[in-house]
Chains A and B, each alone.
Chain A
Amino acid sequence: MAVDAGRYSLTLSRRTRRRKGVNVLMQALATLAALAAVAVLALVIISVARRGASALSWDFFTKNAATFGQSGGGVANALVGSLVIVGLATAMAVPVGILIALYVSEFAPPRVGDLVRLVLDVLNGLPSIIIGIFVYGLLVIGSGQAAWKGSFALAIIMLPLVARATQEVLALVPSTLREGALALGASRWRTVLGVVLPTSFGGIITGTVLAVARAAGETAPLLFTTSIAANAVTWDPRQPVLSIPYDIFVLSESPDPADHARAWALGFVLICFVLVTSLSARLLLVRYRKRLEG
């Protein structure tokens, strides 16, 4: 019998050529989709920066909005307002979030822990407008708006982010470390405080920073809770204050084109804040992981 020449052929037949074509096509589509994500981010940043650049100035950061009918003015009250709201929300959400994470990973029976994790994920998926309405009904009706009520709404949004991020780094802490501490005659709580938490500090910071970045951009929870604000810088959380995202909305509704530019500029400020905080958080996490694993 003659040797079958086709059997060991290493060149492409028609069928394999088609398969190869499909392969190349799908790879190209997937690559394009990934590039599109990068492109969208770049386009958003560039267009926001270009349109807002003209409005960025010293006055923009230091002055309040001009009174009706006058030109000029800035967004100082919105910047301070966001600082107050988000700062207070962080102060509320972080300790509670860490405690929840500690409960889930250190104290809860496995099944209860799973349930709490599920609840946190559901809470994380709740539309922020719903949380806004909930806080409106709970705190605002009857007594009016205040910055701290907006903070409370933001804290509800931050809570699952902080808790889940913390719980995930706690799970990275090797159980041998806990055993080492417990074998010395330390209580569970001392073990958590002295060994587990310090080990996961970097991850907790990361989770917190990401939650702050998310909360800083939330508008909906603030609509009902702290939107009718005086045109003045206030540090008092009992007063309603303006915030960056809500101010962007207000400015963009204005008939004055200069206000539109200010809205873009404020948007640019917000984007920069979110980008810088998220990126530094990721960097921190990478460094921290290396330390924990190395």
Chain B
Amino acid sequence: MEADTMNVVAPIEIAQPREAPRSASDLEIVFETRGLTVSYGKAPAVSDVDLSIYRNLVTAIIGPSGCGKSTFLRSLNRMNDLVPSAKVEGEVLYHGQNIYGDGVDPVEVRRRIGMVFQKPNPFPKSIYDNVAWGLRVLGMKDDLDSRVERALTQAALWDEVKDRLKKSAFGLSGGQQQRLCIARAIAVEPDVVLLDEPASALDPIATSKIEDLMHELKNEYTLVIVTHNMQQAARVADMTAFFSISRGEEGERWGELIEYDETEKIFTTPSANPTEDYVTGRFG
């Protein structure tokens, strides 16, 4: 029996023990997108996405390059606003209110929905000030020291940096810098943390530290992670959304949500063919 499976595509290991999947109806919905389309100029990067993201779960977004997964993620905290040509249609409901609605302040959106980026981007400041800056800006100045310590501890970085808090953050390794960026993001106590391929620039050891961290953090936060690494999605995510590229008659391409389900289901018994092709490594 074992020999048989060895010859077929090796099954993707879903290693981390998780609590039994709760049924979706028990879970509180944090995000609900309705017909979300994001275009750069005239070309849609991702089209007509309906997706619900649940509280205190890790939701992974996987798919081939160019399927719009990063664009989708960045539309959840209005980071696309920074791209002048970006246009958003449809709705992104955050606890029921459309974050693109009238009177919604993008700054307030981002304060509740933090983000960690592909490449570690610490500020050119000391390790301490990297974490403290956001707190100061948002007026969370009471007990600054203990807030900084708590964030660094939560990001599993405190022990490594506690003796050099005043040193430049640029002196840290790539993995440490990325955990510092996570500490910086969670220090301001957001509700959701979006992670855009947070480990793609890191070595395997640093990557596994970030993954361990995500298991810890989901108790307090809702996490959404974009990754091009399927094993990573399988290891960390409770729910997985698979995006793919669709092609029109005139050669135009756009990203689409193909399938969204519990991670285990996506990786073992996906209901759509493209998903199966992708997770078994036949394309992408």
Contact = CB atoms under 8 A, between A and B. Distances in A.
B253 interface: no
Contact of B124 (A110, A186, A198): A198
Contact of B123 (A109, A185, A195): A195
B188 interface: yes
B82 A185 contact: no
B121 interface: yes
Given A183-B114, A185-B110, A186-B107, A176 B121 contact: yes
Contacts of A179: 79, 82, 115, 117, 121
A287 interface: no
Interface in B135-175: 137-138, 170
Most buried by B among A175, A176, A292: A176
A interface, size bucket: 20 to 34
Contacts of A195: 123, 133
Interface in A101-155: 109-110
A184 B188 contact: yes
Interface in B239-279: none
Interface string B69-97: 00000000101001010000000000000
Contacts of A294: 170
A176 B181 CA distance: 12
Interface in B161-211: 170, 181, 184-185, 188, 190
B117 A176 contact: yes
Contact of A185 (B84, B117, B122, B134): B134
A180 B117 contact: yes
A199 B111 contact: no
A70 B63 CA distance: 89
A72 interface: no
A134 B134 CA distance: 47
A176 B118 CA distance: 9
B119 interface: yes
Contacts of A178: 82
Contacts of B82: 175, 178-179, 182
Contact of A183 (B115, B124, B170): B115
Interface of A: 109-110, 174-187, 190, 194-195, 198-199, 291-292, 294
23 contacts: A109-B84, A175-B82, A176-B119, A179-B79, A179-B117, A180-B181, A180-B184, A181-B133, A181-B134, A182-B79, A182-B82, A183-B79, A183-B110, A183-B115, A184-B111, A184-B133, A184-B185, A185-B108, A185-B134, A186-B137, A194-B123, A194-B133, A198-B124
Given A180-B184, A185-B110, A195-B123, 13 more contacts: A180-B117, A180-B121, A180-B181, A181-B133, A181-B134, A183-B79, A185-B138, A186-B134, A190-B137, A198-B124, A198-B125, A199-B124, A292-B124
